[in-house]
A = this chain, B = another copy of it.
């Protein structure tokens, strides 16, 4: 990697403290004070503090992925996604993924493991999103939706879903990132 910019590089801001300016059911807004050690200035930046999230790549025995379609309040539109949700305090990401899959879709698999973890938005969110792979997923139990949830469950061949991630039918950036991480594992598995 060539580095045309200055050799010293950007400094690490030092976090001095934070206070919450707004609190909601799914995130807090914090004003965080940082100190720049070279410029010798203090600055306040707004950060959204949220629990970690999980997104689930649930593969059926016939090579389909489990999908959910639901109304999303942020965009005021329906969105086609993989199952997922907020991880409870102290909950393991894989356990959370298995739970969200079961609650949202009624699908249960025979094995589950962590595929990868990403940052939804390092600039303004403090949390991570964990991608959980569930194999041999079949519809086994009844859905248990949270209050206000209403979810259309479907399955589609993995190759179709990958096309949809690249063609704009799937627009949720976290879902696209999850599918990119999943694709490598899927290709390796398909080559067996």
Is B177 in contact with A10, judged by CB distance below 8 angstroms? no
Contact of A10 among B152, B176, B181 (CB under 8 A): B152
Interface size on A, as a range, is: 35 or more
Is A3 in contact with B173, judged by CB distance below 8 angstroms? no
Contact of A118 among B120, B126, B176 (CB under 8 A): B176
| Bound complex: CA A62 to CA B48 (Å) | 39
Is A116 in contact with B34, judged by CB distance below 8 angstroms? no
A90 interface residue (CB < 8 Å to B) = no
Contacts of A168 in B (CB 8 A): 116-117
- Can you list 29 A-B contacts (CB < 8 A)? A1-B154, A2-B154, A3-B153, A4-B153, A5-B152, A5-B153, A10-B70, A10-B150, A10-B151, A11-B150, A13-B71, A24-B29, A27-B48, A45-B73, A73-B123, A74-B119, A74-B123, A74-B124, A116-B168, A118-B171, A119-B172, A120-B120, A121-B172, A122-B172, A166-B180, A176-B180, A176-B181, A177-B180, A180-B180
* New contact pairs (15) apart from A2-B154, A10-B78, CB-CB < 8 Å: A3-B153, A10-B70, A10-B71, A10-B151, A26-B124, A27-B124, A45-B73, A74-B126, A75-B125, A79-B122, A118-B171, A118-B173, A119-B173, A121-B174, A176-B180
